[in-house]
């Protein structure tokens, strides 16, 4: 197989694709969730080049991904998108990993590639243990309107997220076959490292799930083991960003009526997971569980 043209003419898309597939998936054997996180960071980088630099993805060259542009991209994440220092650092880590990969695959870019890993991460404050109170959780779960199809989906999604203490990707990966309708109702979560755990849900959540499944339109020609439990338009599977957007929409709605709702807490899917853990501890459940 012939190599690409001159080094300064190498299209970045070729190497970004190989990085995600051959390198991360085949060589490093990273989990699909981790690869999806890397893909999100790269998609944002390509978006910045297109919208800010005026360089469409298909014309971006490796020579264009240099230290100065990486720093400008990181500034855009924080100033333009309001991302935290922790998010900035995560995106930077992905770009550094790609730079190390290209330094080996394309030694012509060694000088440029070695400058990017030298970009320093920002210091982040110690993570707080913010969580919602019981009344705040009740208000959140009651916010969606179950009379509408989207509202019912949102109510069941948020209730399942809280009741199972699932990671957001585990919620996205749920299929209808992962819900065992018999009592006690059990939801099978597919976690990191291909680990599976079965979580019983409380009766109120079980009733919501039963109602949701009875009213939910199944996807034609798709078995239950491939039919997303929670989907968006055209039966597409919800993404982590989609779940976060749904949660944020309802939190913002609550805060418009009550500006003091969950004051000081950045309500994310992980905060819902942490909230469930805290409530179990407060109820006297042994920490090991």
Catalytic residues: 167, 192, 270, 273
d(CA 97, CA 82): 24
DSSP letter string, 21-80: IIIIIIIS---HHHHHHHHHHHHHHHHHHHHTS---GGG-BGGGS-HHHHHHHHHHHHHH
Cα atoms in the Cβ-side hemisphere of radius 13 Å centred on 139: 16
Contact status, residue 85 vs residue 123, Cβ threshold 8 Å: yes
Q: 121: Cβ–Cβ under 8 A, 6 or more apart, which residues?
A: 88, 89, 92, 93
CA distance between the termini of the chain: 54
Which helix (H) or strand (E) element contains residue 199? strand 196-200
Short-list 101, 123, 125, 124, CA closest to 113: 101
Which helix (H) or strand (E) element contains residue 2? none
């Amino acid at each position: 197989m012939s190599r690409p043209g001159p080094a300064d003419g190498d299209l970045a898309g070729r190497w970004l694709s190989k990085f995600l597939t051959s390198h991360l998936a085949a060589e490093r054997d990273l989990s699909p969730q981790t690869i999806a996180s890397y893909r999100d960071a790269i998609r944002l980088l390509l978006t910045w080049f297109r919208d800010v630099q005026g360089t469409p993805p298909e014309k971006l060259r490796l020579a264009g991904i240099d230290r100065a542009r990486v720093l400008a991209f990181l500034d855009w994440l924080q100033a333009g998108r309001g991302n935290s220092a922790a998010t900035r650092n995560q995106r930077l880590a992905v770009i550094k990993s790609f730079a190390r990969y290209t330094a080996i695959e394309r030694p012509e870019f060694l000088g440029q590639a070695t400058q990017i890993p030298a970009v320093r991460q920002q210091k982040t404050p110690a993570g707080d243990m913010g969580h919602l109170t019981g009344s705040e959780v009740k208000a959140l779960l009651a916010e969606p309107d179950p009379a509408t199809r989207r509202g019912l989906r949102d109510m069941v999604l948020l209730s399942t997220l809280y009741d199972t203490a699932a990671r957001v990707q585990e919620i996205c990966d749920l299929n209808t076959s992962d819900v065992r309708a018999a009592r006690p109702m059990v939801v099978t979560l597919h976690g990191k490292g291909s680990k599976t755990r079965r979580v019983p849900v409380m009766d109120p959540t079980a009733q919501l799930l039963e109602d949701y499944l009875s009213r939910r339109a199944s996807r034609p020609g798709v078995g239950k083991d491939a039919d997303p439990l929670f989907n968006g338009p055209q039966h597409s599977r919800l993404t982590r960003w989609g779940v976060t957007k749904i949660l944020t929409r309802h939190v913002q709605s609550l805060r418009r009526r009550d500006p003091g709702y969950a004051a000081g807490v950045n309500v994310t899917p992980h905060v819902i997971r942490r909230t469930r853990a805290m409530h179990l501890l407060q109820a006297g459940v042994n920490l090991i569980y």
